[in-house]
Structure 1
């Protein structure tokens, strides 16, 4: 009988959990759980200055508190005209963590005087895997595009309604989940992570 490998994704964001479960379909005998599925532990503040630093911090904390191999990601939007802000502050740009609508509206207001030719931005994701025994792995993904002047679409989350990826005419929020996974920053990082999981957890290499 094939053993099932329990794997923690250190997030309370159900969108991320659903996204990674979709991407890991077919990887093998992996049970992916989120923070709501394990005993609660004090989550360390995201004090890193880069997405990679924050991802590693969260993955290490998840492993330390639960003993489970832990994946964590940190991702956000970098806007060229703002010197790559909001960056690691994307989820709390308006002051309160996770208020997607407030973050989006504040960013649109700040971009109001930026001409269309200068509204380039990228979604960036760093994903870390921390394993018992001290092994760690880090992967990343990037989705370049431009920002619209108003939200479009009812899918996705975060800044998806105002982001049009290079080569697309629709915002990320107008794409269906499979289309978004195929090109998104998190899709890129999580697919790379899926290959890592298959190799280091399932194959043991």
Structure 2
């Protein structure tokens, strides 16, 4: 069993990534599980920079294990790709998922559907035991809904309408979302990179 460290304590992310890697004889460990304490400041100006900051911060405690870290953002065309890298703290310090969603809906109030296009994007940084780094990216396109819809998922899922399923991500089951999500696409690409190193 190969252990891979996920440089995050976000249980939702850990569940999604563990589900994606399932069946590949991989165990995903969170920061809590390796005893990492402290807060990693995400000071990057891009998703890739933030992912790399998180992965590098854990390297001293990796004990020869591969580290992965992701940063994800919602990019809304009408808002010039905002909230983007600031997605987690869009409504300000200490904000909740709901705060962010309500701020977004307020900014999009009255905006026509054609201008509500949005993308979810995830960038994963992989740090190998020798310090080499690689990146994988996933993206999924959709629209910003006019209301909060659905109770599943987390983050911006209740306002992200995915056209092929005619539902928001929050209306989809865990497994349904995990088959099509931006994190799924990025993690699948990351696994292809990691797999070559494990041969």
Range into which the TM-score falls when normalised by the shorter chain: over 0.9
Q: Which residue of 1 aligns with 2:67?
A: 70
Q: Deviations over 1:76-127 (max 9, x none)?
A: 1000001000001101111135610111111111111322221110000000
**Residue 166 of structure 2: SS of its match in structure 1?**
coil
Report the Cα offset of residue 167 of structure 1.
2.3
Q: Deviations over 1:132-190 (max 9, x none)?
A: 11111100000111011111111111000111123231111111122211211101001
- Inter-partner Cα distance in structure 1 for 2:84 and 2:104: 12
Select 2:195's aligned residue among 192, 195, 198: 198
Select 2:151's aligned residue among 154, 171, 177: 154
- Inter-partner Cα distance in structure 1 for 2:86 and 2:14: 21
- Inter-partner Cα distance in structure 2 for 1:44 and 1:64: 14
What value does the CA root-mean-square deviation take over the aligned residues?
1.4
Q: 1:141 to 1:113 in 2, by over 3 A?
A: same
- Inter-partner Cα distance in structure 2 for 1:98 and 1:61: 24
- The normalised TM-score by structure 1 is 0.91
Q: Which residue of 1 aligns with 2:137?
A: 140
Question: Within 5 Å, which residues of 2 pair with 1:11-26?
Answer: 11-26=8-23
Q: Which residue of 2 aligns with 1:52?
A: 48
- Inter-partner Cα distance in structure 2 for 1:41 and 1:18: 20
Q: Which residue of 2 aligns with 1:116?
A: 113
Confirm whether residue 42 of structure 1 aligns to residue 38 of structure 2: yes
Structure 1 gaps, min length 5: none
- The normalised TM-score by structure 2 is 0.94
Structure 2 gaps, min length 5: none
Confirm whether residue 185 of structure 1 aligns to residue 182 of structure 2: yes
